[in-house]
Amino acid sequence: MICLYCLKNYNMEVTWTTIFKPGRKGLCSECCSNLEPIREETCEKCGREYDEQWFDNKHICTDCVAWENHPNYKEVKIKNTSIYKYNNFAKEFVAKWKYRGDYELIYAFSDEIKKTYKSKYKKVDYIITIPLSTERSYERGFNQSEAIAKIMDQKKTLKVLKKNETNKQSKKKKLERIHSENPFIMTGVKSTIDKKVLIVDDIYTTGTTMYQISKILYEAGASEISTFALFRG
């Protein structure tokens, strides 16, 4: 088999890792070993792994405490799940996937994404994907959030949002992002009234995107909102 990431040939060995952590096929053991799964103990809101430097109390990280005090997002309650830490390898991986455009890299996580979806989000009515600006769509050739939603359940995927043309989030500083205006708007009918929705993205960094979209969906009458991001930065 050829490793999805490094393209080297490798043999699928049956080891304790492959038995207890299935769904890693697609990456060779060396690439796999560079991934850091998030362990059990996490922030109750954003899913960040417990680490003293980010936590004043055991339950909620300092970022989420700050969000609770944000004047625009008081009513928004976040419940995020992430699978991996956004470490250096993840950064390179995402860069190759999203910016270089190697779409199929996401298949390395198919099984893990499906597993999480089945165990946590079976009851959602809709999976909400995050739109890209026209320019970004052309540049990348695909939408990373839709790529993940497709692995979960394409039939439940709903594209009801539109993004105004703005600058890239990743080019902005943290404070700029948190206080930037909401670039998303609802399009079409209010199909999310009284629905359980799951917002899907690739990375949760400051949480800005998740808060902005959650707010719109909240105002559009969604009854339950949860979020999924493959990596937690």
Partner 1 sequence: MTEHEILALLNGIRLLADEIPFDIQEINKLGLIKKELGLNNYNCLRCGNNDKNKFGKHFCLRCNNICYYCKNCIMMGKLSSCSELYSGPSTNTLEPTNKNYLNYDGEFTDEQKTASTKVIETIKQKSQLLIWAVCGAGKTEIIFPGLNFALQKGLNICLATPRTDVVHELTPRLKKAFPEIEITSLFGGSENKYKNSPITISTTHQLLRFYKKFDVLILDEIDAFPYNYDKSLQYAVNNARKDDSTFIMLSATPPNSINYNQQINKVIIPKRYHGNPLPLPKLEWIGDWEKSLLTKNNVPKKLQDFIEHSIREGRKPIVFVPNIPIGSVLQDKISESKFVYSSHENRKRIVEEFKEGKLKCLITTTILERGVTIPFVDVAVLGADDEIFNETALVQIAGRVGRKKEDTSGRVIFFHNGKTNEILKSIKHIKKINRLGGFE
Nearer to partner 1, 69 or 88 (CB): 88
Shortest spacing between CB 199 and partner 1, in angstroms: 20
Tokens of 210: 């998740």
Nearer to partner 1, 2 or 66 (CB): 2
Contact 150, 179 (CB under 8 A): no
Under the binding rule (CB under 8 A), the answer on residue 218 touching partner 1 is no
CB proximity list for 189: less than 8 A, separation 6 or greater: none
Nearer to partner 1, 103 or 218 (CB): 103
Contact 221, 193 (CB under 8 A): yes
Q: Which of the ranges 46-54, 113-121, 135-143, 187-195 carries the binding residues for partner 1, by CB under 8 A?
A: 135-143
Shortest spacing between CB 4 and partner 1, in angstroms: 8
Tokens of 79: 């419940």
Among 138, 165, 173, 189, binds partner 1 (CB under 8 A): 138
Nearer to partner 1, 100 or 179 (CB): 100
Under the binding rule (CB under 8 A), the answer on residue 172 touching partner 1 is no
CB proximity list for 163: less than 8 A, separation 6 or greater: 130, 131, 132, 133, 183, 184
Under the binding rule (CB under 8 A), the answer on residue 188 touching partner 1 is no
Among 96, 114, 156, 162, binds partner 1 (CB under 8 A): 96
Tell me if residue 157 falls in helix, strand or coil: strand
Tokens 């850091």 sit on residue = 36
Tokens of 221: 């009458």
Nearer to partner 1, 9 or 69 (CB): 9
**What are the C-alpha distances in Å from 55 to residues 43, 47, 69, 178?**
8, 12, 16, 19
> Counting beta carbons within 10 angstroms of the beta carbon of residue 57, is it exposed (0 to 12), middle (13 to 18) or buried (19 or more)?
exposed
Under the binding rule (CB under 8 A), the answer on residue 10 touching partner 1 is no
Under the binding rule (CB under 8 A), the answer on residue 6 touching partner 1 is no
In angstroms, the CA 218 to CA 206 distance is 20
Q: Which of the ranges 16-24, 63-71, 132-140, 151-159 carries the binding residues for partner 1, by CB under 8 A?
A: 132-140
Among 143, 192, 205, 212, binds partner 1 (CB under 8 A): 143
Under the binding rule (CB under 8 A), the answer on residue 7 touching partner 1 is yes
Binding residues for partner 1 (CB under 8 A): 2, 7, 96, 100-104, 137-138, 140-143, 147
